[in-house]
């Protein structure tokens, strides 16, 4: 089942997508909802980010090849994580499918995409045994962890390197029936494939992260966990279109502009 | 003016506090609100955290003495920040005035308080000139950036060191008329004063941070910026009460328990 959040003429709603038709609901998949018999075509609405989380979690480094390649680029020793320590991103930066990634005027050319599986939490979770973890997942969506690599190296935190407004595209919807082991993540820049990897080839998987996080932190309905990326990005520039597909989940596409 | 958020028998409301009496409003100080003529005594309600932010910002290191003392304790060179790079904390950890700080079973004894001024944003802010910054501030409250120092040193991120559930007490209310230069921050552990410092003796002040953040990030109504702390904490343990007063703003008090 695909949950889509959208702006229509009469307000913002969650709906269930079948083919190109949205069936409107009242409420949300995180609380209570009621189906309606009102339908609208996907191309008549604006797709919104599928959720604005209470807390925005991000695994950061979670694929071995990405760590080794990033270390080589920066001329540093690779530093593989030893524990599933979670990190954070910021809500101000979230945009939806189709919205523009805006590169600030004073950013360098090193504007990179990072194609990530996004886990959407459906139920309040604390002290969850690893084997029960997936019961707390409502579904999956796609994230692009856009990063300014020069700032990432120069600043004390990731604040503007990863959380500049528009740097966190997420969408297009939440797929509730995807199989982690069947997913392949593919990035296309201006239609040309640049990266493709097995989505679940993570250092610490979804179940491990949920189990570790909830030893200390409560996960709430609507919280998201971005699971990290593999491969090495090309630079994105004004006029580009960056498309990330996770098979069985959906395709997130965003144009890129540079502020003038 | 003091904005207090509270749980009463008939729901959750914002009210305006005068003496010990809350005058209920409909709405919130961040959107639209309407005054009512309904009043309730402060001791008849449960005080809630004054806001759950869209994004939870934290300056982290922002007082010179704290940096020097922390470096000496860890036997490291002091590392004073060169730029106003903002950091983050997580909403799951927020509790209100009077709520218990719960130390996890497996935490060490190094559970520290950090007394912080909290800036509460009142209006959407982007590209704000430094001299206009305070116009975007609704008011101030008090925060306790509770930290498990062993985890802070061992983990790749601050996730459980600073964001364990209950580790972010905030309150008791938002004071809209306080003067930064008149504030003194005082910590009392079990009634005994342990730290006192000039609140505004920061490396980078409130105006500087708002101006720097909004070059890249939009601040939204209800966002909070925790401004860092001075001094060195004692360990907090089961049965303690930690009280943080910022003169002209209010006093945040929380009991401490250890999970068994």
Tens of pLDDT, residue by residue over B73-114, are 778 888 899 999 999 999 999 999 999 999 999 999 999 999
Please indicate whether, in this complex, the C-beta atoms of A85 and B165 are within 8 angstroms of each other.
Answer: no
Q: How far apart (Å, rounded) are the C-alpha atoms in residues B99 and B82?
A: 36
| Domain span holding position A39 | 1-46
CA distance B105 to chain A (A): 10
Check residue B70 and give its pLDDT.
78
The CATH number assigned to the domain holding A40 equals 2.30.30.370
Does residue B146 carry a pLDDT above 90?
Answer: yes
Chain B residues within 8 Å of chain A (Cβ atoms): 52, 54-55, 60, 81, 83, 85-88, 90-93, 104, 126, 155-157, 159-160, 163-165, 213, 215-220, 223
Q: Is the domain of A57 the same as that of A39?
A: no
Q: Is the domain of B72 the same as that of B170?
A: yes
Are the beta carbons of B115 and B185 closer than 8 angstroms?
Answer: yes
User: Which residues of chain A make contact with B163, given a CB cutoff of 8 A?
Assistant: 216-217
Does residue B67 carry a pLDDT above 90?
Answer: no
Q: Is the domain of A187 the same as that of A235?
A: yes
> What is the per-residue burial (b if ≥16 Cβ within 10 Å, else e) of A219-254?
bbbbbbbbbbbbbbbbebeeebebbbbbeebbebbb
Q: What angle do CA B162, B136, B177 make, to 5 degrees?
A: 85
Looking up tokens 């999970």 gives B259
CA distance B153 to chain A (A): 13
- Choose the mutation target among B217, B222, B258 for the interface with A, i.e. most A CBs under 10 Å: B217
User: Which residues of chain B make contact with A104, given a CB cutoff of 8 A?
Assistant: 215-216
Q: Is the domain of A73 the same as that of A182?
A: yes
Please indicate whether, in this complex, the C-beta atoms of A216 and B160 are within 8 angstroms of each other.
Answer: yes
The CATH number assigned to the domain holding A118 equals 3.90.850.10
Check residue A92 and give its pLDDT.
98
Does residue B65 carry a pLDDT above 90?
Answer: no
Please indicate whether, in this complex, the C-beta atoms of A55 and B90 are within 8 angstroms of each other.
Answer: yes
Does residue B72 carry a pLDDT above 90?
Answer: no
Q: A196: how many CB neighbours lie within 10 A of its CB?
A: 14
User: Which residues of chain A make contact with B157, given a CB cutoff of 8 A?
Assistant: 60, 85-88
User: What residue spans of chain A are helical by DSSP H?
Assistant: 64-74, 149-154, 159-163, 206-213
Q: Is the domain of B212 the same as that of B119?
A: yes
Check residue B243 and give its pLDDT.
98
Please indicate whether, in this complex, the C-beta atoms of B91 and A54 are within 8 angstroms of each other.
Answer: yes
Check residue B194 and give its pLDDT.
98
> H or E stretch including B159?
helix B159-163
Does residue B222 carry a pLDDT above 80?
Answer: yes
Check residue B74 and give its pLDDT.
76
**Averaged confidence pLDDT in chain B:** 96
Q: Is the domain of A14 the same as that of A106?
A: no
Q: How far apart (Å, rounded) are the C-alpha atoms in residues A177 and A134?
A: 12
User: Which residues of chain B make contact with A88, given a CB cutoff of 8 A?
Assistant: 88, 90, 157, 159
Instruction: Give B177's pLDDT tier (boundaries 50, 70, 90).
Output: very high
Q: How many domains does chain B have?
A: 2
> H or E stretch including A104?
none
| A54: closest chain B residue by CA | B91
Q: Is the domain of B191 the same as that of B104?
A: yes
Walking along chain A (260 residues) 10 residues at a time, the average pLDDT comes out as 97 97 97 95 98 97 88 84 96 98 98 98 98 98 97 95 98 97 98 97 98 98 97 96 98 97
Check residue B50 and give its pLDDT.
98
pTM of the model: 0.96
Q: Is the domain of A11 the same as that of A91?
A: no
User: Which residues of chain B make contact with A60, given a CB cutoff of 8 A?
Assistant: 156-157
Chain A residues within 8 Å of chain B (Cβ atoms): 52, 54-55, 60, 81, 83, 85-88, 90-93, 104, 126, 155-157, 159-160, 163-165, 213, 215-220
> H or E stretch including B152?
helix B149-154
Q: Is the domain of B127 the same as that of B214?
A: yes
Q: Is the domain of B124 the same as that of B29?
A: no
CA distance A31 to chain B (A): 18
Q: Is the domain of A173 the same as that of A80?
A: yes
Q: Is the domain of B38 the same as that of B130?
A: no
- Rounded to the nearest 10°, the torsion over CA B13, B14, B18, B20 is 40
- The string of pLDDT tens digits covering residues B109-123 is 999 999 999 999 999
């Amino acid at each position: 089942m695909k949950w889509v959040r959208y702006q229509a003429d009469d307000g913002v709603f969650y709906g269930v997508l079948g083919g190109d038709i949205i069936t409107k609901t009242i409420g949300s998949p995180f609380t209570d909802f009621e189906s309606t018999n009102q339908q609208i075509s996907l191309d008549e609405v604006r797709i919104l980010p599928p959720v604005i989380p209470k807390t925005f979690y991000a695994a950061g480094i979670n694929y071995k090849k990405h760590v080794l390649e990033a270390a080589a680029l920066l001329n540093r020793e690779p530093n593989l994580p030893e524990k599933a320590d979670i990190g954070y991103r910021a809500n101000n930066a979230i945009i939806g499918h189709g919205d523009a990634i805006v590169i600030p005027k004073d950013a360098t050319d090193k504007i990179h995409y990072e194609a990530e599986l996004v886990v959407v939490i459906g139920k309040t979770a604390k002290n969850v045994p690893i084997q029960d973890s997936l019961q707390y997942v409502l579904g999956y969506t796609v994230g692009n962890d856009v990063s300014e690599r020069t700032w990432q190296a120069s600043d004390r935190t990731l604040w503007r390197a990863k959380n500049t407004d528009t740097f966190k595209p997420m969408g297009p919807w939440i797929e509730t029936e995807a199989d982690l082991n069947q997913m392949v993540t593919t990035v296309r820049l201006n239609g040309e494939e640049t990266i493709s990897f097995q989505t679940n080839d993570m250092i610490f998987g979804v179940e491990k992260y949920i189990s570790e996080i909830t030893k200390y932190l409560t996960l709430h309905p609507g919280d998201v966990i971005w699971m990290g990326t593999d491969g090495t990005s090309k630079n994105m520039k004004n006029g580009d279109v960056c498309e990330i597909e996770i098979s069985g989940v959906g395709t997130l596409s965003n144009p890129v502009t540079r502020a003038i």
